Chains A and B, each alone.
Chain A
Amino acid sequence: MENLYPAPATRAEVQLYSLGESAVVVQFGDAIKRHTHHEVQALSAYLDAHPFPGFVEYVPAFTTVTVYYNPLEITRSPEASPYESVAETLRHMLWQAVTEAEPSASHVIEVPVCYGGKFGPDLAFVASHAHLSPEEVVALHTQPEYLVYMIGFAPGFPYLGGMSEQLVVPRKDKPRLKVPAGSVGIAGKQTGVYSIQTPGGWQLIGRTPLNLFTPHGETPSLLKAGDYIRFVSITEREYERTQQHES
């Protein structure tokens, strides 16, 4: 199979460092790039398939994969510390991960959003800030396939890449004390969906009736790193019909 990714272990910018006594961070670069994201995904997939003794879990992010382990369960030679042993294991994995990496079929999840009105109280502000009509904001926001770079900040909360530069808008001066789950917002160059009710300072342009976090499922987060999503504009009526969460 064609190797899509250059071997990261051969590249100077791959760094390994500790996060305390029970985690190693593998850093593939220092900027948000699709290429770096693919390396993050390749190591994540490899760890799913080949957990090592003492492995606990991993967290993929924009440029890093953080690997948590139990220092008491790491097999190691007497002269190597748990950190050194895990770092060594991961260095080997980097080679393997890249040679075994298969480009995963891009999985596009449609996220219905009711824009504006009571669900998107800041749509008018975003439109006037961007010198656009609200309809144009919705058109621009529903156009791209957004890449889920990582899940963080809150359970099931996706960090998305791919928003139109025209929609860049500062966050609110004063954060709201309660942003309802499902709210779709913009802050700076980022757009995202609040997965649980939480305080927040993003400009809210709409709301999805989907649950992004379902604590009783086997996979609690609707989205995972590496997925793509597309927002689809729906009416308030369609919203009410498909609503999964409490309003």
Chain B
Amino acid sequence: MSLSIISPGLLTTIQDLGRRGYRKEGVPTSGAMDTVALRVANLLVGNAESTAGIEITFLGPKIRFETDHLLALTGADLRPTLNGEAVKMNRPIAVRKGSVLAFSGLRIGSRAYLALSGGLATPLVLGSQATYLRASIGGLGGRAFKTGDVVPVAGMTEWGRQIWQALLATHPGRAWAQAAWTPDPRLYPTPHDTPHVRAIRGQEYDLFSEQSQRDFWQQEFIVTSDSDRMGYRLQGPMLVQREPSEVLSSAVAFGTIQVPNEGHPIALLADHQTTGGYPRIAQVIAADFSCLAQVPLGRKIRFREISLSEAQDLYFRQEQRMTEIKQALQFKLHHL
């Protein structure tokens, strides 16, 4: 059972929720950049939230399904089509074998997620299917998809097949059918045009000049084109320290904003190195990781300061909403 890659898109990789337990050996977590989007995609097809899916960046691939499938697309809207007809985001879609998924161009966001009932049949590397390009591990041979690739899939789960049948039952003779409903969009972050990213002060915040501290919260930063899954390189006002100081390498995290000596900050993302030796001016809050991961290259972002306790509350609220989505979907999928 497989998918055929007719064209690969710009950067299409297999990702799950990442590796755990190997950071002390220098192995990054990797995994989906927008984990909430991948989790919702999985829930829409009846998978466990942590199931591996496909991360699609800016420019979508063209994929032929060699077997019947139940799928969902979340995250960035890249104007998906099935057999040339527009298809909607954020809902379960049943396709018959031979159907071709393509994308006609980025509308909003930067990363879309494709979940398939049952997930992908690629091996676990250090406990995860996530692709980590720099060390060439995980996913499909440790690399992004190429034209002609055959991606092994696990095949629909029993529940997935029931949903598949229910969706196509009302559209006999059609090659694909999508649910008429979608989870309440207020329950999960969706990419938007003017990203405001909330952050808390980093441990070395006080090392920066007052002017730089003000600039950080008040000015805009552009996500430059040399950004990647390791981090966004941001261009804006120069951030300078009061006096030059040396920071010893220590662990960093998704969303850590560190400032190398040349003064331009880097926001660390899914493939970030496990340790860093630059002063950390801020830390993006977990509830805004999705928002950060969906900022397209060339777009401006602004940071807004909040406290750690607010950040913790916002994270709990996000997870509460995920539980609501999960419950609502379990009901909906059982009553198709």
Contacts and interface: CB of A to CB of B under 8 A. Distances in A.
B21 A150 contact: no
A155 B27 contact: yes
Given A19-B283, A152-B273, A61 B251 contact: yes
A198 B28 CA distance: 15
A245 to B, nearest CB: 12
B99 interface: no
B256 A19 contact: yes
A195 B273 CA distance: 13
Chain A interface bracket (under 10, 10 to 19, 20 to 34, 35 or more): 35 or more
- Judged by DSSP, the binding face of B is mixed
Contact of B274 (A20, A63, A152): A152
A64 to B, nearest CB: 5
Interface in B254-312: 254-256, 273-275, 283-286, 308-309, 311-312
A82 B316 CA distance: 11
A152 B26 contact: yes
Given A156-B25, A220-B22, A25 B315 contact: no
Contacts of A219: 25
B151 interface: no
Nearest to A17: B203
A221 B26 contact: yes
A30 interface: yes
Given A63-B248, A82-B312, A215-B137, A21 B285 contact: yes
Contact of A19 (B22, B26, B28, B253): B253
- Judged by DSSP, the binding face of A is mixed
Contacts of B274: 59, 151-152
B134 interface: yes
Interface string A1-39: 000000000000000011111110101001110000000
A87 to B, nearest CB: 11
A59 B248 contact: no
B218 to A, nearest CB: 22
B256 A20 contact: yes
B20 interface: yes
Given A196-B134, A215-B137, A224-B24, A150 B249 contact: yes
A233 to B, nearest CB: 26
Contacts of A151: 24-26, 274
A139 interface: no
A215 B203 contact: no
A115 interface: no
Interface in B1-34: 20-28
B319 interface: yes
Contacts of A150: 249, 275
Given A56-B20, A225-B24, A62 B283 contact: no
25 contacts: A18-B283, A19-B253, A19-B283, A20-B256, A20-B284, A21-B312, A23-B253, A57-B24, A59-B274, A61-B250, A63-B248, A63-B250, A72-B319, A81-B309, A83-B308, A151-B25, A151-B274, A152-B26, A152-B275, A153-B26, A154-B273, A155-B27, A195-B26, A215-B137, A224-B25
Given A19-B252, A59-B23, A151-B26, 13 more contacts: A18-B308, A20-B284, A20-B286, A57-B20, A57-B23, A59-B275, A63-B250, A71-B316, A150-B275, A152-B249, A155-B28, A156-B26, A220-B22
Interface of B: 20-28, 125-126, 134-135, 137, 200, 203, 248-256, 273-275, 283-286, 308-309, 311-312, 315-316, 319
The 6 closest A-B pairs by CB, nearest first: A152-B275, A66-B251, A221-B25, A59-B251, A61-B250, A151-B26
